[in-house]
Amino acid sequence: MNFNNVMSVFITVQCLFVICTTHLLINVKNQGGDIFSEIIEANVTEDMITLEFQRSDGTFVTQLIDFKNEVQVIKALVLGEEERGQNQYQVMCFVNHFYKMDFISSDAMSKLRQKNPGSIRVAEEDRGSTNYTMDLFLDVNKSNIISKHILKLCTEAGDSTYTRQDDLKQWLLRPGTSESLLIDSVKNFTSMTLNPATINSTKSSTTPKCADTSNLWAPCSCSLELCIGWYPCGLKFCKNKTDNKKPPSTYRCGIKTCKKYFIFSYYSKIKQNCLWDE
């Protein structure tokens, strides 16, 4: 057995017993004409996908899809505006329930290859925008009940990690999920604790919008819009050409790509941390 064959066997064994991942580098053009690079990584062992890019304003965005636990985490690292007194960056994490049909599987993602890596990609379908009112803080140190990946991704965000009561309702439906541990992992913005009886409550926060207050040191409801400009949202299927005697069969012949806007509304301790929402 020559050296190349030995290395091939070694890599195969390594993928079987260690976490095996594949990734793509995609050049994407957004609606404004800016071109940026997305890194999409599929981890079949953990059944997850991560997507990362940097916006033109310097904001770093990471999207993590945990298929096993039906969880989506979107992390935003926003650079400070030094001319307005923000000397440091800030990090926020938004954790939501995720429907598996909204993204191709980690296994399908791991099999994707680029014929022309230098091509500029534009999403085929615009899935519009979705508003998320994040009405709960999530304690990252107790977040394993939701997904074990949250702690690693959102440690730096700390108290700026958010979720919703609507998402808790969905995760409670997962087999084996402990209601007490799930409730213990979150707190609301007023009493700082969540009574299990309030999960079905639709009462909204009375915190004023940051755009409506001039006090830079007052708490307010901040709004942050993030756009995933290109991602594989489904598979394409084509039909084989056959004679009239046999019905045509279908086969997988590509992927469908989408873009989507997320608008997150969340509690900010001071308006100074939400200067873009004016």
Q: Is residue 215 part of a domain?
A: yes
Q: Is residue 259 part of a domain?
A: yes
Number of domains in the chain: 1
pTM recorded for the entire structure:
0.84
Region 31-56: what's the mean pLDDT? Answer: 92
Strand extents, DSSP E, 30-85:
35-43, 48-54, 60-66, 71-78
Q: 251, 237 in Cβ contact below 8 A?
A: yes
pLDDT (tens digit per residue) in 77-127 = 999 777 766 668 999 999 999 988 888 999 988 888 877 878 899 999 999
pLDDT (tens digit per residue) in 227-261 = 999 999 988 888 877 666 677 778 777 789 999 99
pLDDT (tens digit per residue) in 152-167 = 999 999 999 999 999 9
Q: Is residue 135 part of a domain?
A: yes
Q: Is residue 9 part of a domain?
A: no
For residue 203, give its domain range.
19-274
Q: Is residue 76 part of a domain?
A: yes
> Count of CB atoms within 10 A of residue 45's CB?
14
Burial class, 177, CB count within 10 angstroms (exposed 0-12 / middle 13-18 / buried 19+): middle
Contacts with 205 (C-beta within 8 Å, 6 or more apart), sequence order: 135, 189, 190, 221, 267
Q: Please give the Cα distance from 38 to 54 (Å, whole number).
A: 8
